[in-house]
């Protein structure tokens, strides 16, 4: 009798211990899930409400729990429409009692985690309306799961009652064109117009390009944008997309408003591309998107106003915008842009190639922090299995990678080439392509390379910074620019390598500045300070990128 009692006691103790350990494990898993999601979704209201055990005393938002073996376990996750970004947390695969997972209408990236293959009770998985998420299922995933994926359901746009408004200058109204055509047309034209109208309406219902509502970026009304810009009267510039206006939102934030013009070289595809891309990425060195507008045939993008303009403006733009940047500032701005590119090239799940890096797309905020802008041409790097990869070459003359142009094969090294051209711009103060100069000076890259190889630094440097730089730092930048603009992409470095070299150059420059200040304080040095310092005082060797391999190697310093 005593033996049976002891056996029963041991069995109950084992069950209690197992239940307790399972509850503890579940709480640990939920805590890890919150940490993974919070890395890319700070200040998310749902995540901030999660504390303690997901099933007790009250169930977390997005969780559903049921009793099992004496404890409550998580059986359903519903994170739909929660504005979540980043990769789907692999930790979800540790919630082994899950039967349903709903992740639709978010901005998840990457692919379905391999850990989902361990969810043997899973019956339903929905990842619809996650435009940057791969729908490839991991090996071992149960074939009995109802897997829902794909694009967002198109929603017809129902406009509000017509209201009077002033279109941005240069933007024509299609309605006026149609009405004019009908008024002056013959009976045949009327039939043709009716036919085209029916076809157009069918295409409108089919086309996902008109649906902007799937993004997490704030949608602004046309009226609010009109108010912010003073009816589009504060023009501050024009680009390939259209005119750019300055405005102020109701809460006081200054913004730059890009309005697509009817003659724009960029269309709905580029508009939607930028909208969807910027809803999935964020980095301090990328210009973020605040809001957008798809109303009354307008396509409008709203960004924070970059008070110090573009790098191009400051180097050789209009006289009213041109202000001399000192050498350390030029270098610092390019380091910021390089960090933004490194982020894109290493984006979780699949790297992003900008395809239009140039000095006009590097903007500077109030603190002169360099930020990469304009993602209309950006796209994911090609990979095996892509269906119908785009062979269309995009970019700007003077910055365009010659290998990409000739082969139509795109890689991150195409961005590296363009960035190398920007480095030559900050050194020389010249435009990348200037047909007003003598024929042998049209191309900045071709003009600069002989000077770099022959070490004629003083003959190519921008007159605005002559005598105001450390020679060693300048040579570091020129060496990087030279290898970035190699004709063949295999000889170019990665953006990570470029960034390290530029950061080293800035350290050398700052150390030289500190040294010179200490010398000048004693009154022993003249005004032409940096040129009187021997480069050997700062380093006996130059860590450079070897053009034959595109890798960092330590080599002797270049001769003066």
> Of the residues 105, 356, 374, 415, which is catalytic?
356
CA distance 316 to 326: 14
The closest of 169, 107, 168 to 293, measured between CA atoms, is 168
The closest of 418, 421, 444, 241 to 345, measured between CA atoms, is 418
CA distance 296 to 396: 31
CA distance 352 to 410: 11
Residue 527's contacts (CB-CB under 8 Å, 6 or more residues apart) are: none
The per-residue DSSP string of 88-151 comes to PPGGGGG-TT--EEE--SSEEEB---GGGGG-TT--EEE--S-TTB--PPPTT--TTSEEE-SS
Is 28 one of the catalytic residues? no
**Judging by beta carbons within 10 Å of its beta carbon (0-12, 13-18, 19+), is residue 155 exposed, middle or buried?**
exposed
Give the pair of three-digit tokens for residue 25: 């494990």
E runs forming strands in 197-297: 218-219, 235-238, 242-248, 254-260, 291-295
HEC string for 378-407 = CEECCCCCCCCCCCCCCCCCCCCCHHHHHH
Collapse the DSSP code of 270 into the 3-class scheme (helix H, G, I; strand E, B; otherwise coil) and give the result. helix
Contact 409, 403 (CB under 8 A): yes
Peptide bond into 57 cis (omega under 30): yes
Residue 494's contacts (CB-CB under 8 Å, 6 or more residues apart) are: 345, 412, 413, 416, 550
Find out whether 323 is annotated in a ligand binding site. Answer: no
Phi, psi of 420 (to 5 degrees): -60, -35
**Strand 71-78 versus strand 63-68 pairing type:** antiparallel
How many residues does the structure list for the chain? 560
Q: Which residues are known to be catalytic?
A: 356
**Binding site membership: which residues?**
258
**Binding site membership for ATP: which residues?**
258
């Amino acid at each position: 009798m005593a033996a049976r009692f002891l056996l029963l006691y041991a069995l109950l103790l084992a069950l209690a211990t197992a239940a307790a350990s399972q509850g503890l494990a579940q709480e640990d898993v939920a805590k890890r899930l919150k940490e993974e999601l919070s890395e890319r979704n700070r200040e998310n209201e749902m995540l901030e409400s999660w504390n303690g055990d997901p099933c007790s005393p009250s169930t977390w938002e997005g969780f559903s729990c049921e009793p099992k073996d004496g404890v409550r376990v998580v059986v359903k996750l519903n994170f739909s429409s929660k504005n979540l970004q980043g990769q789907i947390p692999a930790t979800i695969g540790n919630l082994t009692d899950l039967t349903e997972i709903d992740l639709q209408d978010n901005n998840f990236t990457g692919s379905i985690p391999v850990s989902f293959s361990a969810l043997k009770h899973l019956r339903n998985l929905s990842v619809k309306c996650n435009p940057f998420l791969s729908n490839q299922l991991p090996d071992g995933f149960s074939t009995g799961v109802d897997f829902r994926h794909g694009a967002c359901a198109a929603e017809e746009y129902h406009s509000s009652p017509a209201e009077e408004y002033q279109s941005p200058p240069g933007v024509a109204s299609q309605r006026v064109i149609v009405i004019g055509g009908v008024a002056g047309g013959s009976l045949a034209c009327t039939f043709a117009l009716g036919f085209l109208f029916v076809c157009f309406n069918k295409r409108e219902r089919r086309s996902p390009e008109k649906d902007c509502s799937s993004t997490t970026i704030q949608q602004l009304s046309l009226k609010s944008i009109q108010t912010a810009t003073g009816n589009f009267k504060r023009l501050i510039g024009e680009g390939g997309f259209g005119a750019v206006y300055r405005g102020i939102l109701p809460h006081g934030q200054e913004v730059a408003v890009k309005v697509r013009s009817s003659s724009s070289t960029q269309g709905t595809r580029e508009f939607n591309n930028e909208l969807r891309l910027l809803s999935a990425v964020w980095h301090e060195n990328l210009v973020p998107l605040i809001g957008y507008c798809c109303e009354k045939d307008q396509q409008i993008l709203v960004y924070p106003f970059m008070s110090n303009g573009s790098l191009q403006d400051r180097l050789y733009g209009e006289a009213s915008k041109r202000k001399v940047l000192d050498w350390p500032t030029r270098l610092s701005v390019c380091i910021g842009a390089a960090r933004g590119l490194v982020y894109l090239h290493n984006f979780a799940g699949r790297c992003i190639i900008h395809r239009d890096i140039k000095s006009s797309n590097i903007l500077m905020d109030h603190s002169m922090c360099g930020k990469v802008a304009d993602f209309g041409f950006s796209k994911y790097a090609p990979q095996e299995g892509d269906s119908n990869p785009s062979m269309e070459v995009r970019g700007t003359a003077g910055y365009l990678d010659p290998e990409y142009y000739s082969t139509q094969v795109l890689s991150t090294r195409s961005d590296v080439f363009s960035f190398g051209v920007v480095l030559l711009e900050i050194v020389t103060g010249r435009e990348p392509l200037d047909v007003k100069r003598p024929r042998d000076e049209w191309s900045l890259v071709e003009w600069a390379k002989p000077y770099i190889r022959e070490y004629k630094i003083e003959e190519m440097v921008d007159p605005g910074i002559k005598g105001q730089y450390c020679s060693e730092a300048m040579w570091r930048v020129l060496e990087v620019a030279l290898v970035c603009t190699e004709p063949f992409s295999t000889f170019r470095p990665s953006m990570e390598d470029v960034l390290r070299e530029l950061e080293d150059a800035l350290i050398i420059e700052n150390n030289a500045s500190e040294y010179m200040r200490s010398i000048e304080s004693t009154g022993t040095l003249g005004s032409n300070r940096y040129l009187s310092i021997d480069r050997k005082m700062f380093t006996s060797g130059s860590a450079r990128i070897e053009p034959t391999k595109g890798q960092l190697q330590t080599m002797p310093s270049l001769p003066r």
